[in-house]
Amino acid sequence: MFKVAVIGASGLLGRTIAGELVRQQDWQIVQTTFSRPMPESVPLDIRDASAVDQFVERERPNAIVIAAAERRPDVCENNPALARALNVDAVRAIASAARRHDAWVLSISTDYVFDGTAPPYRYDATPSPINAYGRSKLEGERALADAADLGCVLRLPLLFGPIVDWQESAVTSLVPAIAASASAPASSGAKPAVMDAWAIRYPTYTLDVAVVVRQLLERHARGEAICGTVQWSGDEPMTKYEIAQRLAHALQMDAQLTPQHTPTDATPRPYNCQLDSARLEALGIGRRTPFDTAIREVFALFPWRG
């Protein structure tokens, strides 16, 4: 029996990874949660190194997928101690426990480890993060490399997928503003929704990422574990303004949108961190669902309730 622990199985990405893995025959999936408990999940605070060690000692998984993290750039900027606890120290604790039991560890990282000035970025490009989130995730990558004998980092860009609320993804978080701009009468004097039209992003569907994770785990199960750094990304470049236009079209809303062509975020964000996925593609790993198809699937599962 091949046993996989999914750490952070109640989050945007963790849910889809766990959902993909539980369908595999002869695999046993152990799911951990913390802030959002689920039936049949194991409660685990990954900031507690002793609890992490006891969990790995008890479950003895063949592989561990770390989908738990602090991924909100503004929160990381304002609370670097929390960012470090979740994105660095917890990764080190999990990797150290895994090493004692010869488990392979897959840790999720981000395109924000790059400064966005020289895309596309290969997996071996030199990182240069410009905000606290990117720095914490880069430190987490190094913590995994230092602590794990069998460790792999999977870098991902902006994610979207099945949600429990609009704010769970930076993509779907645009929907309330889009809806408000569409519903405001022209005579009301309401301003259109202003959307960033400067930074370029590559929205990536969590269900596609779950397939990538499953394929990586299948390699490990065959004794062909992939280690080091790999990257996966959608291949459709968009600004938030362009994303909002496509969301409005999918929702059949006549949204009033205004592009903002200069960066306005309080937390610095890179311009274009396009990730090169060639290392995984060369191995026959990966799947990409067109954005318009994927976002309609998301809306079908979580329809707009205006």
Burial class (CB in 10 A: 0-12, 13-18, 19+), 136: buried
> Is 172 within the bounds of a domain?
no
Give pTM, 2 decimals.
0.95
Instruction: Decide if 133 is catalytic.
Output: yes
Given this model, what pLDDT does residue 265 score? 84
Q: Work out the pLDDT band at 214, boundaries 50, 70, 90.
A: very high
- pLDDT at residue 232 is higher than 60: yes
Given this model, what pLDDT does residue 183 score? 73
Dump pLDDT digits (tens) for 127-147: 999 999 999 999 999 999 999
> Is 35 within the bounds of a domain?
yes
Given this model, what pLDDT does residue 29 score? 97
- pLDDT at residue 305 is higher than 90: no
- pLDDT at residue 186 is higher than 90: no
Given this model, what pLDDT does residue 197 score? 97
Given this model, what pLDDT does residue 62 score? 97
Average pLDDT, rounded, for the chain: 94
Given this model, what pLDDT does residue 304 score? 64
Q: For helices 49-59 and 90-100, what crossing angle results, to 10°?
A: 30
Burial class (CB in 10 A: 0-12, 13-18, 19+), 53: middle
Residue 114: CATH number of its domain: 3.40.50.720
- pLDDT at residue 188 is higher than 70: no
List strand residue ranges (DSSP E) for the chain, in order. 2-7, 27-33, 42-43, 63-66, 104-110, 151-156, 159-160, 193-196, 204-205, 228-231, 257-260
Tell me the average pLDDT across 46-55: 96
Tell me the average pLDDT across 235-241: 98
Q: What is d(CA 14, CA 108) in angstroms, rounded to the nearest whole number?
A: 10
> Is 67 within the bounds of a domain?
yes
> Is 258 within the bounds of a domain?
no
Given this model, what pLDDT does residue 295 score? 98
Q: Which of 32-46, 108-122, 130-144, 221-235 has the lowest mean pLDDT?
A: 32-46
Dump pLDDT digits (tens) for 64-114: 999 999 999 999 999 999 999 999 999 999 999 999 999 999 999 999 999
> Is 80 within the bounds of a domain?
yes
> Is 265 within the bounds of a domain?
no
Catalytic residue among 121, 133, 205, 241: 133
Tell me the average pLDDT across 135-162: 97
Dump pLDDT digits (tens) for 15-37: 999 999 999 999 999 999 997 87
Range of the domain at 225: 2-162+203-237+273-289
Total domains, the chain: 1
- pLDDT at residue 217 is higher than 60: yes
Q: What is d(CA 120, CA 123) in angstroms, rounded to the nearest whole number?
A: 10
Determine what percent of the chain is predicted with pLDDT higher than 70: 97
Q: What is d(CA 233, CA 278) in angstroms, rounded to the nearest whole number?
A: 10
> Is 260 within the bounds of a domain?
no
Determine what percent of the chain is predicted with pLDDT higher than 90: 90
> Is 280 within the bounds of a domain?
yes
